[in-house]
A and B are shown apart, each in its own frame.
Chain A
Amino acid sequence: MLCVLIALFSLVPLVFVAIMTANAGVDTIVALVFRPRVGELLVNTVALVAITVPLCVLCGVGGAWLVERTRLRGHKIWAVLLAAPLAIPAFVNSYAWVSAVPSLGGVAGGVLISTLSYFPLVYIPVAAVLGRMDPALEQTGQSLGLGPWRVFFRVTFPQLRLAIAGGALLVSLHLLSEYGAFAMIQFDTFTTAIYDQFRSTFNGAAANMLAGVLVVLCLVLLLLEERSRGTARYAKVGSGAQSGPVRLRLGWYQGPAQLGLAALTVLAIGVPMWHVVRWLIFGGVAVWERDPLLTALLQTLGYGLAGALATTLLAFPLAYQVVRHPGRTSRLLEGANYISSSMPGIVVALALVTITVHGLPAIYQTSIVLVAAYALLFMPRALVNLRAGLAQAPKELDEAAQALGKPPLLAFVKVTLRLTAPAAAGGAALVFLGIVNELTATLLLSPNGTNTLATEFWSLSSEIDYAGAAPYALLMILLSAPMTYLLFAQSKKAAGQ
């Protein structure tokens, strides 16, 4: 019952868009959706996705293969460096690149920044799968007469399909929902247009209809990913120990490989870090002495902790239902959560603004609504971790505790909760990371006088006070770094390394 309520709560944004569309009437929809402006946004957004996703797959898979499957020198360091760009929020990356190349803009600018920010979303899962893959499969390919290239394309690559599809979906959803990075270089996508529309007309039908188109795009992506997964079985068939991965000799390619990875790292980490540092030096001590800095840091920490706690508490009943009572209901609940959490932050924010203004004015523009938005946006991060954690605490252990004389509730606390705690903490940390770097929903929903690191950074850099914004950028990167490492380590662990 509780689970159904939580799943219904997570469907709020989607239902909101559906109701808004239904209420608008056909004429309004046609007038608002079929116009040149929407066409332009659609071309921009589709071009962005169509170019960036393949580039991310190329960088992610190439990097993962070099790091996991070849005798690349320093592969342990490269493994971490390739995941590191995730610690730099895309809008900070954009800010650095605009500082470096002031003329940056258009589709090319959007593609450059988003590829550099998001390729780790493909790299991390693919590297995890490559590291875990049984080398016997590739060796069998070789023994059947395939050369190294054909082994890669006919044996290895198909095994990566799930990881690549999942990573590509994440990248595309990020592209659809990103606001700051594209607004900074004045590249218009649906999200930036909805934001501008909202700022100028507040809660107008135009913003809602744009959100409707954006939601449809998201659903199309989910469907595409579902299709590309296929139904084949990718897990290893049969049991038995497997040997460690075999690394390919790079020979003459060692140099080009090192150069390529170095170039990618310089563009994705070097440029943003260098410009943040440059602005810090330029700003000197003065930028650190401004009052809002400490307030923003404390408020960010406060919202991060509250949001992480709320999200974990909401996700726990769902995860418990899915793991302990698998079945059609569970799959439905999980599916509802999965779809709703792919909704861009701007849609979630728009939904919550409208609902609170009309239905619950008492909580309009309070921190409750903001925390609710965070829970809606980041629940899957907590859910995935809790599921894995609950799987480590099978029902049998609970029963063993009961057979040893512990009442059911005590047995649950002493065994299941205790065993799930590390996973819950891991999930909460990832939610925290998401909240620290969240900009769109926070801009729309935060109560008056509330400023997080992200929103303060945003208002300063919008006023072209790049030096003043630099400390906020640095703090966000510093807060994100340990969480990014945690995510990286977790992916390795999930793959059993």
Chain B
Amino acid sequence: MTRSSRSTITPRPDRSARRILTPAVSDVADHLRVRGVRKAFGSTSVLAGVDLAVAQGRSTAIVGPSGSGKTTLLRLIAGFESPDSGTIALGGETVAGGGTWVPAHKRSVGYVAQDGALFPHLTVGQNVAFGLPERGRAAAARVAELLEMVSMDPQYAKRRPHQLSGGQQQRVALARALARRPGLMLLDEPFSALDAGLRVATRRAVAKTLTDAGVTTILVTHDQAEALSFADQVAVMRDGRLAQIGSPFVVYTRPTDRATAEFLGDAVILEAWMEGSLALCSLGGIPVRRPPAQGKVHLMLRPEQIRIAGDGPIRGTVVDTDYFGPETTVRLKLEPIAVDPLHPADPHQPVGGEVITIRHWNAMLARPGTQLCLKVVGEAVAFPWE
């Protein structure tokens, strides 16, 4: 898992409260509705039946590994490709499928490509003004307004795209896409070409601009941290299907399957025995909300749910550590559970001895060979045993 994923555990008080409380299915009218969309290139199926609804003014991140079909879905919504079957509706009006086809330039959809796709033969100002119906002074005023909207000095209007940094190019591309006041904005990995520091800053600036303008937004990304921090709704894409759609908090803490769990962040997976709503594993009895099965299951915990605590009931020995500065990744071998010789071994009882990875802020506590006491916070997620 990448280091950037760790930023997801930092709470973001400004927006997270709203995002977490927003139900994935809302009663607000859906701006975009994708139904049963399939697309194949030659004999390769890229989208195998996608359903997605995005509410007016909300943001959705489509996240998935490369090759999962997320960019194709975005290009279908933009109108650069047409679906083989299924329908796409914008604001209640079908734009593709069912015998209807509305070309890209009539969809009122903004699009920001991976590298910004600024026209190299035009200045920044001419780029922003490209889609504007206004000319002359009115256009110039609107360009200045748009550049300010993306936090850029209007002086930049005279520059050429190649004189801008990568982050500035992306912001100009956003201003250009905003110029026609689109109802829906599509962002195709617009931050992936930027370096780490710039990426976070540009992402925040873009998110704020779009939220303030009340534009419905779809972001496509392969970076799960970006998806979780950017959007009100996260759709996880795998092999041409949406594996799970929900608020960032829900998809991160309650993934529907193991692959989604591991894609969205580091996960501790343990063998467990499910009885009622309690899972018995090497870390003790852990509550599970809505267990999918009883008996033998895989149990998933996020590393940050396992804390080092002096009074913790579980013991483990540090195997090794990776120091990252603000935090340390600690690999622990859990203590084998001693079997009571007077009672026969219970097949439901865990045996312990697994190696798990957790995170801790204090590197000094976790030297190899040290024995630590652990406790588990919150609920776990169980997946049926395959």
A interface residues with partner B (beta carbon < 8 Å): 392, 394, 396-397, 399-408, 411, 415, 418-419
Q: Enumerate chain A residues within 8 angstroms of B105, measured Cβ to Cβ.
A: 402-408, 411
Q: Out of A402, A405, A407, A418, which one reaches B121, CB within 8 Å?
A: A418
Could you tell me the distance in whole angstroms from the C-beta of B331 to the nearest C-beta in chain A?
32
- Other A-B pairs beyond A402-B103, A404-B177, A406-B131, 16, CB < 8 Å: A397-B117, A399-B104, A400-B113, A400-B117, A400-B176, A401-B130, A402-B79, A403-B104, A403-B111, A403-B177, A404-B131, A405-B131, A407-B103, A407-B105, A418-B121, A419-B119
Separation of A396 and B189 alpha carbons in the complex (Å): 14
Residue in A399, A400, A401 with the greatest tally of chain B CB atoms within 10 Å = A400
Could you tell me the distance in whole angstroms from the C-beta of A468 to the nearest C-beta in chain B?
48
**Cβ of A404 and Cβ of B80 under 8 Å apart?**
no
Number of A-B contacts (CB under 8 A): 58
Q: Enumerate chain B residues within 8 angstroms of A411, measured Cβ to Cβ.
A: 105
**Cβ of B119 and Cβ of A402 under 8 Å apart?**
no
Could you tell me the distance in whole angstroms from the C-beta of A399 to the nearest C-beta in chain B?
5
Q: Enumerate chain A residues within 8 angstroms of B109, measured Cβ to Cβ.
A: 403
Q: Is B180 an interface residue (CB 8 A)?
A: yes
Q: Enumerate chain A residues within 8 angstroms of B78, measured Cβ to Cβ.
A: 399, 403
The residue on B at minimum CB distance from A396 is B117
The residue on A at minimum CB distance from B116 is A400
| B 112-146 to A, binary, CB cutoff 8 A, 1 in contact else 0 | 01010101110000000011000000000000000
Q: Enumerate chain B residues within 8 angstroms of A394, measured Cβ to Cβ.
A: 117
Q: Out of A399, A405, A418, which one reaches B180, CB within 8 Å?
A: A405
Please, could you name 15 A-B residue pairs with CB atoms under 8 Å apart, sorted by A?
Answer: A392-B120, A397-B119, A399-B78, A400-B113, A400-B119, A401-B130, A402-B103, A403-B78, A403-B79, A403-B110, A404-B105, A404-B177, A405-B105, A406-B131, A408-B105
**Cβ of A402 and Cβ of B117 under 8 Å apart?**
no
Q: Enumerate chain B residues within 8 angstroms of A415, measured Cβ to Cβ.
A: 119
The residue on B at minimum CB distance from A422 is B121
**Cβ of A400 and Cβ of B111 under 8 Å apart?**
yes
Q: Enumerate chain A residues within 8 angstroms of B115, measured Cβ to Cβ.
A: 396
10 pairs of A and B residues whose beta carbons are closest in the complex: A404-B131, A403-B111, A402-B104, A400-B117, A396-B117, A402-B105, A405-B131, A405-B105, A396-B113, A399-B80
The residue on B at minimum CB distance from A419 is B121
Residue in A399, A405, A411, A418 with the greatest tally of chain B CB atoms within 10 Å = A405
Q: Enumerate chain B residues within 8 angstroms of A406, measured Cβ to Cβ.
A: 105, 130-131
Separation of A394 and B179 alpha carbons in the complex (Å): 22
Could you tell me the distance in whole angstroms from the C-beta of B110 to the nearest C-beta in chain A?
7
Could you tell me the distance in whole angstroms from the C-beta of B84 to the nearest C-beta in chain A?
19
**Cβ of A419 and Cβ of B120 under 8 Å apart?**
yes
The range of chain B's interface size is: 20 to 34
Q: Enumerate chain A residues within 8 angstroms of B121, measured Cβ to Cβ.
A: 418-419
Q: Enumerate chain A residues within 8 angstroms of B177, measured Cβ to Cβ.
A: 403-404
Separation of A185 and B79 alpha carbons in the complex (Å): 65
Separation of A407 and B130 alpha carbons in the complex (Å): 13
Q: Enumerate chain A residues within 8 angstroms of B79, measured Cβ to Cβ.
A: 402-403
Q: Enumerate chain B residues within 8 angstroms of A396, measured Cβ to Cβ.
A: 113, 115, 117
Q: Enumerate chain A residues within 8 angstroms of B179, measured Cβ to Cβ.
A: 404
Q: Enumerate chain A residues within 8 angstroms of B113, measured Cβ to Cβ.
A: 396, 399-400
**Cβ of A404 and Cβ of B180 under 8 Å apart?**
yes
Could you tell me the distance in whole angstroms from the C-beta of B173 to the nearest C-beta in chain A?
8
Q: Enumerate chain B residues within 8 angstroms of A404, measured Cβ to Cβ.
A: 105, 130-131, 176-177, 179-180
Could you tell me the distance in whole angstroms from the C-beta of B52 to the nearest C-beta in chain A?
19
Q: Enumerate chain A residues within 8 angstroms of B104, measured Cβ to Cβ.
A: 399, 402-403
Q: Which of B147-184 contact A (CB under 8 A)?
A: 173, 176-177, 179-180
Separation of A308 and B113 alpha carbons in the complex (Å): 36
Q: Enumerate chain B residues within 8 angstroms of A419, measured Cβ to Cβ.
A: 119-121
Q: Out of B103, B119, B130, which one reaches A408, CB within 8 Å?
A: B103
Separation of A256 and B173 alpha carbons in the complex (Å): 57
Q: Enumerate chain A residues within 8 angstroms of B119, measured Cβ to Cβ.
A: 397, 400-401, 415, 419
The residue on B at minimum CB distance from A421 is B121
Separation of A406 and B133 alpha carbons in the complex (Å): 11
Q: Enumerate chain B residues within 8 angstroms of A399, measured Cβ to Cβ.
A: 78, 80, 104, 111, 113, 117
Q: Out of A397, A402, A405, which one reaches B80, CB within 8 Å?
A: A402
Could you tell me the distance in whole angstroms from the C-beta of B94 to the nearest C-beta in chain A?
19
Could you tell me the distance in whole angstroms from the C-beta of B139 to the nearest C-beta in chain A?
13
Separation of A405 and B106 alpha carbons in the complex (Å): 6
Separation of A411 and B109 alpha carbons in the complex (Å): 16
The residue on B at minimum CB distance from A401 is B130
| B 67-101 to A, binary, CB cutoff 8 A, 1 in contact else 0 | 00000000000111000000000000000000000
| B 296-335 to A, binary, CB cutoff 8 A, 1 in contact else 0 | 0000000000000000000000000000000000000000
The residue on B at minimum CB distance from A392 is B120
Q: Enumerate chain A residues within 8 angstroms of B103, measured Cβ to Cβ.
A: 402, 407-408
Q: Enumerate chain A residues within 8 angstroms of B80, measured Cβ to Cβ.
A: 399, 402
Separation of A415 and B176 alpha carbons in the complex (Å): 15
Separation of A418 and B110 alpha carbons in the complex (Å): 23
Q: Enumerate chain B residues within 8 angstroms of A418, measured Cβ to Cβ.
A: 121
Separation of A16 and B111 alpha carbons in the complex (Å): 51
Residue in A402, A418, A419 with the greatest tally of chain B CB atoms within 10 Å = A402
Separation of A392 and B121 alpha carbons in the complex (Å): 11
Separation of A419 and B130 alpha carbons in the complex (Å): 15
Q: Enumerate chain B residues within 8 angstroms of A407, measured Cβ to Cβ.
A: 103, 105
Could you tell me the distance in whole angstroms from the C-beta of A391 to the nearest C-beta in chain B?
12
Residue in B80, B173, B177 with the greatest tally of chain A CB atoms within 10 Å = B80
Separation of A399 and B117 alpha carbons in the complex (Å): 9
Separation of A317 and B126 alpha carbons in the complex (Å): 29
Could you tell me the distance in whole angstroms from the C-beta of B168 to the nearest C-beta in chain A?
17
Residue in A399, A408, A418 with the greatest tally of chain B CB atoms within 10 Å = A399
Separation of A397 and B121 alpha carbons in the complex (Å): 11
Separation of A401 and B130 alpha carbons in the complex (Å): 8
Residue in B105, B110, B131, B179 with the greatest tally of chain A CB atoms within 10 Å = B105
The residue on A at minimum CB distance from B129 is A404
Q: Enumerate chain A residues within 8 angstroms of B106, measured Cβ to Cβ.
A: 405
Could you tell me the distance in whole angstroms from the C-beta of B225 to the nearest C-beta in chain A?
24
